[in-house]
Amino acid sequence: MSVPHDTIGAEYPGFFKRLSLTDWLWAALVTVSTVFVLAMFGGYMDIYQVITLIIHAVAGIWLGWYWKPFRGYALAVGLLSVLGVLSYGDSLARAETNFFLKYLVSGQSAVMWMCALLFMSTAAYIAYLFRREATGTAGVVPALVIAGGATVLGGGLLWLGQGGIIPGLEWVSPLAFLVAVGALTGPLSRTEFSAQVGGALAWTAATFGLVGLFVRWRETYLHDPAWGYIPVSNLWEVFVLFCVITVLMYLYYEGRSRNRGMGGFVLLLVSSAVAFLLFYTLDRQAHEVQPLVPALQSWWMKVHVPANFIGYGGFAIAAMVGVAYLMRAHGERHRPNGLLATRLPGRQVLDDVMYKTIAIGFAFFTIATVLGAMWAAEAWGGYWSWDPKEVWALIVWLNYAAWLHMRFTKGWRGVPMAWWSIVGLFVTTFAFVGVNMFLGGLHSYGEM
């Protein structure tokens, strides 16, 4: 570069110039692994699979460059998944005898680890909101009051559920207890410590969740090579996927906004998915691997479902950030020095994250819906059949399209948009699980 000295720093270096040695090591690692896989297993792969692998490698390199923490995550997921697959060998029975499988990385164990870690992470993030002030004891009393209230609520839910008065409520009670634990332990710390713990736990949980899905993928082949399928095909599996994707997306936006105050809200929603997952596993044994029905045996599923869940994850985060926004706005109006107005992230940050998560959710939901139409054209004889699931996907899409329009063209911000994003999550949830439960149609795979 031969430029005058005084302009050296002013010129923004090109993209590749900005990459560090670690970035290049990452690229080399991904490339070597890909070449290794091609050399070892290339013979079993058809041209589409080879292309898919290469696309994933390129996307992986790019993601690692764009979002640095992803590299450590990918490495951990890769190593643990390989450990799981190698521990199995070719016998499913080792799940009971092999130490690693039994306690750590079999599909089922890993997902249970994810559930436990997500609960802990939620409590830690909530604790961060109730941290003690640098000076004085302000906030301790409200924390204790909330802890007490949440305990009573949790106990009540447990009692109603266990007593058979309103069966099922016992599975909701952990959420209240998590709030109680968070509020109780929060004042022990004055620093960001509990949020850092929450973040580390969330990263670990997302690792175990994805490892669980990857190892389960192998397990489907161990049950019977003719069964083998990617585990995003029933309600249990997609709930795991939802937890993993939502947590990862949250962690990305936490890093970008440099604010850990949203964790308690987002993770609480993820915890409710975990509660459902626990109910579904322990009460309904829904985690058992079953072969796919013919309608689901399509490679479209592999792209349609994950794209959809990036959408759902984005909308879920936006809604919980919306809740935080409303609480913050309420606090600022009524008690400017209270916990709500001082502990929650600023309105501008919340508004920005809400917009960003809805934007990415909308973009991927668009892709997912288009992919779904293409799949439908191949499976049901028409790209659009006005099937209930399709119609509700359209309604979700229209809802967020309208949200974005109002923000762009009318400049809407703040409280109404927060409310709208919360309502949006209810619409989305109905489209996700409600349609399958209540309306049926061609899309009714995830039955209760």
Interface with another protein by CB under 8 A: which residues?
3, 6-13, 17-20, 224, 226-227, 258, 290-291, 293-295, 297-298, 348-349, 352, 359-360, 362-363, 366-367, 370, 373-374, 377-384, 386, 388, 391-392, 394-395, 398-399, 402, 404-405, 408-410, 435, 439, 441
Q: Which is nearer to another protein, 43 or 410 (by Cβ)? A: 410
Report the nearest approach of another protein to the CB of residue 409 (Å).
5
Report the nearest approach of another protein to the CB of residue 13 (Å).
5
Q: Which is nearer to another protein, 276 or 380 (by Cβ)? A: 380
Q: Which is nearer to another protein, 35 or 293 (by Cβ)? A: 293
Report the nearest approach of another protein to the CB of residue 252 (Å).
12
Q: Which is nearer to another protein, 159 or 227 (by Cβ)? A: 227
Between the CA of residue 175 and those of 150, 157, 169, 183, 278, what are the distances in Å? 9, 10, 11, 13, 12
φ/ψ (deg, to 5) at 287: -80, -5
Question: Which contacts (CB < 8 Å, 24+ apart) does range 439-442 have?
Answer: 439/388, 439/389, 440/388, 441/387, 441/388, 441/389, 442/380, 442/385, 442/387, 442/389
Report the nearest approach of another protein to the CB of residue 65 (Å).
11
Q: CB within 8 A of 327, min separation 6: which ones?
A: 340, 344
Name the CA dihedral angle for 409, 415, 421, 427, rounded to a multiple of 10 degrees: -110
Q: What is the rounded CA–CA span in Å between residue 24 and residue 61?
A: 9
Q: Which is nearer to another protein, 410 or 448 (by Cβ)? A: 410
Between the CA of residue 120 and those of 179, 209, 262, what are the distances in Å? 11, 15, 16
Report the nearest approach of another protein to the CB of residue 379 (Å).
5
φ/ψ (deg, to 5) at 153: -60, -50
Q: Which is nearer to another protein, 154 or 388 (by Cβ)? A: 388
Q: Which is nearer to another protein, 58 or 359 (by Cβ)? A: 359
Report the nearest approach of another protein to the CB of residue 131 (Å).
21
Q: Which is nearer to another protein, 17 or 164 (by Cβ)? A: 17
Report the nearest approach of another protein to the CB of residue 58 (Å).
18
Q: Which is nearer to another protein, 58 or 404 (by Cβ)? A: 404
Q: Which is nearer to another protein, 33 or 298 (by Cβ)? A: 298
Report the nearest approach of another protein to the CB of residue 141 (Å).
31
Q: Which is nearer to another protein, 165 or 258 (by Cβ)? A: 258
Report the nearest approach of another protein to the CB of residue 224 (Å).
6
CB-based burial label for 128 (10 Å; 0-12, 13-18, 19+): buried
Report the nearest approach of another protein to the CB of residue 268 (Å).
25
Report the nearest approach of another protein to the CB of residue 78 (Å).
25
Report the nearest approach of another protein to the CB of residue 18 (Å).
6
If phi > 0 it is left, if psi is from -120 to 50 it is alpha, else beta; for residue 440 that is left
Q: Which is nearer to another protein, 162 or 290 (by Cβ)? A: 290
Residue type, 327: M
